[in-house]
Chains A and B, each alone.
Chain A
């Protein structure tokens, strides 16, 4: 995933902003408990360490793999620090959609 999206920062951010975002995420995802998330956070922060790295990444970085819009949305919502309780209406509609899908799979 694009490191700017992981750290939720624009390309013209400062070194302090990168450090701040990195530390905020590490507080939520300590490496000893979340090794996979830590790796993503660490790689993103390293990729955006200096202003030169950030502009280079912004100008010339290509996605590593092809992803459909729903796939992108799914990855985005599961980035470290992104997922939060969605609220009752969204939860209800997910559960109803699941029940409907389950009913269809039971009685195709």
Chain B
């Protein structure tokens, strides 16, 4: 009769109201409903009546109503099995029942143990059966109650279960304090079929997780029943992602305890998390302020610093919650700016992130002022530090020496610097604050170089070489610049010094070769002897024919020598041809260098070129590589693109002559990809040259029979790519279909790489073209503070002058517009950004104390 457990009634529709009442702890209600059911089928529904009465007895006892509880137990003696009655009586006589719980509390955790113990006995009575999810819940509830079991004298099963539970509890306590051996020892006597076997497994996984054996821990945790308390707790172990089903406060408390932090801030952190997720930045900040018991650290290394980092980060997203957070953060910043004495740490934390994230859109003046303010506040907070000041000014110098936004992006010219004078002043301040800051010196050199301030640059180089005599980077720069202005001996001297510091540095070798070639060219133009220079060059050369750096390639240098050193020209030419990767590349290089150096071609060059032996696609690619190399040589522009272009087009013709499009379509595709990549990312001249060659390739492929193209996947992809990128002849629907069909065929044939190329290149290219190309600005993407502009426009339209004024102040504070014209008076001895700030003036934001980086503004 009583073999049925409550869980067996789960599918029974008639019993479901009783089960719901039992779950909610509405014992009297459950009892009444169970009585009604028993009137219909007593044998079947009696266990429900017993369960309801047992729960009621337990509830009464835990509220201190022991005599009432005893009455219920007496009644139970007539309907319940003796072991159930015995466990209840044990509870009634235990100290737990003697101490009534306070109103509103959850009651004794031991209550669950007593209530669920009979169910556990039933589960344990059938050890071979895999426990159902309801059984797992019962076991978990009993373990997590951390209460002794209600043992009944003479009941062996109950006694052994009680001992196992005690062992699990002891192991949990030991494990939570890192006493791993003790924990393992505690659970060792548990039989393999114990109802608590998953807990033993969990504790073993926990030990492995804390000891860093992630793999072993995973193996243990993977065997836990999913959805149970063990699996959820396992997810909270180190190296694992916690389950979102656990209450946020409990997760926070656990993570705080894990990292050795006091757990009393768990509630506040959970509240901050909830507010943050809703976009309520202000409430999140308030909750975290409570959690930190004060302000936000601007410079820290604990949990508070990590949370400060996250809270004061302005992310760029279109999510509603994120936009809401940004608005509240902007409001907070505005309030900070209007305060007489804002909390320094919060102010610095907010200023730093706002400045760094808004820097690309900020005009140079406000940016300079904010850097000055940041250094001033840092100095006040943490004391003076010249290295810190130097880093601040160097950062500003780097930002101001970046390229300004071009108003004419189609014009392929070098854009001016964002603020050359400001960048120079910032780098000068950085070098004054920290004279050993090599990067700042190099930055200043770069500014002089880009602004063509040659005299200043040369003077600076002399100073730098004296200051950093053992710095390879400085010596290389000094050498290269000396060579550029024709001071070969001086330049080579610097480069020799750099080479002595690092004989294997390829950059030094290349720069030395550049210097020597310059010298040889100069000697040739002035009809001087070049023999000794070639001797100096020789040891620096690389004989490897596939050397990527053509400056160091022996064959290229031999071509040069053949052009300049008349006496040794035939031998040099023969050598060059021997070392060159192909005759095609040798002849192309001869023509290109001759053109750059304004030398007439050999008499028989044209005949040699026309009679070039069968070529390969690698040689055609090599010709383009040679053109890219020659394009950087002074004189190439005079020589112009026309000759270089015809060399490349003729090379493609040679490939067509030798039927390479059909014989080696993969090579053709490789060359096309090389040309296509260069077209996008290289200079104006090279782009035009690549265009001409692609046009020729397109003509050749177009004339190939369709069957031939269809038979080869690489050729099909080449055809599609040429049509898509060059000819644009693919129609919208037809084009997409063709691309999709090609991708399907390639995947079917196992050519995943070709399918990937088609997917990436063709589809991306099409997307670019459909959105009007790469130069079209993406107006759909909002700026980091675009909502402020929207609000400002709305306020303007509605005539809300106060709101307009406030938002104007915010925009001024974050550098979107110049600061307001009529500022309030500044507090003495401090400058700060914001609506009340005056426009930046010379030396206005000079850092105090030890800040030696006087910024001459």
Contacts and interface: CB of A to CB of B under 8 A. Distances in A.
Interface of A: 1-2, 4-5, 7-12, 29, 33-34, 51-52, 55-56, 58-63, 66-79, 82-88, 90-107
B236 A62 contact: no
Contacts, number: 227
Contacts of B439: 52
A94 B250 contact: yes
A10 B298 CA distance: 11
B251 A29 contact: no
30 contacts: A4-B300, A34-B212, A51-B387, A55-B385, A59-B388, A60-B395, A63-B310, A66-B313, A68-B310, A69-B273, A69-B276, A69-B311, A73-B269, A74-B255, A75-B306, A77-B258, A82-B259, A85-B175, A85-B178, A88-B173, A88-B176, A90-B176, A91-B172, A97-B251, A98-B236, A102-B136, A102-B140, A102-B228, A102-B229, A103-B141
Nearest to A8: B301
B382 interface: yes
Contacts of A71: 273, 310
Interface stretch (B241-249, B506-514, B649-657, B842-850): B241-249
A2 B309 contact: yes
Given A52-B387, A101-B245, A4 B229 contact: no
B176 A33 contact: no
A77 B263 CA distance: 12
Given A82-B259, A99-B141, A62 B356 contact: yes
A83 B261 CA distance: 11
B256 interface: yes
A7 to B, nearest CB: 8
Top 10 closest pairs, chain A to chain B, by CB: A97-B250, A90-B257, A86-B257, A91-B176, A85-B178, A98-B232, A83-B238, A77-B259, A99-B229, A70-B273
Contact of A76 (B255, B311, B352, B437): B255
A98 B237 CA distance: 12
B236 A94 contact: yes
Contact of B322 (A7, A66, A106): A66
B210 A74 contact: no
A76 B437 CA distance: 33
A60 B269 contact: no
Nearest to B287: A69
A59 B378 contact: yes
A67 B227 CA distance: 27
Nearest to B288: A69
B146 interface: yes
The DSSP consensus for interface residues of chain B is helix
B134 A11 contact: no
Given A74-B251, A78-B239, A101-B232, A83 B301 contact: no
A102 B227 contact: yes
B276 A68 contact: yes
A77 to B, nearest CB: 4
Contacts of A52: 387, 390-391, 434, 437, 439
B277 interface: yes
Contacts of B305: 2, 4-5
Given A63-B313, A85-B177, A92 B146 contact: yes
B87 interface: no
B442 interface: no
B254 A70 contact: no
B353 interface: yes
Given A5-B301, A55-B387, 13 more contacts: A1-B306, A2-B305, A11-B299, A55-B388, A59-B388, A60-B395, A66-B317, A88-B176, A96-B144, A97-B247, A98-B246, A99-B229, A106-B137
B302 A98 contact: no
A98 B178 CA distance: 20
A87 B253 CA distance: 12
Interface string B131-161: 0011011001101101000000000000000
Given A52-B387, A55-B387, A90-B176, A101 B269 contact: no
Contact of B269 (A2, A69, A105): A69
Nearest to B242: A74
A7 B276 CA distance: 27
A60 B348 CA distance: 12
Contacts of B301: 2, 4-5, 7-10
Contacts of A7: 301
B731 interface: no
B260 A84 contact: yes
B306 A5 contact: yes
Contacts of A104: 245
A4 B299 CA distance: 9
B404 interface: no
A106 B692 CA distance: 69
Given A12-B385, A55-B391, A83 B270 contact: no
A62 B259 contact: no
Interface string B172-196: 1101111000000000000000000
B144 A88 contact: no
A84 B392 contact: no
Nearest to B352: A59
B238 A105 contact: no
A66 B314 CA distance: 9
A49 B133 CA distance: 53
B233 interface: yes
A97 to B, nearest CB: 3
Nearest to B375: A59
Contacts of B32: none
Contact of B391 (A56, A75, A105, A107): A56
Most buried by B among A9, A55, A71, A107: A55
A83 B259 contact: yes
Contact of B23 (A69, A76, A88, A107): A107
Contacts of A86: 176, 254, 257-258
Nearest to A101: B245
A66 B315 contact: yes
A17 to B, nearest CB: 11
B357 interface: yes
B49 interface: no
B498 interface: no
Contact of B252 (A5, A33, A73): A73
A98 B172 CA distance: 14
Contacts of A51: 387
B596 to A, nearest CB: 42
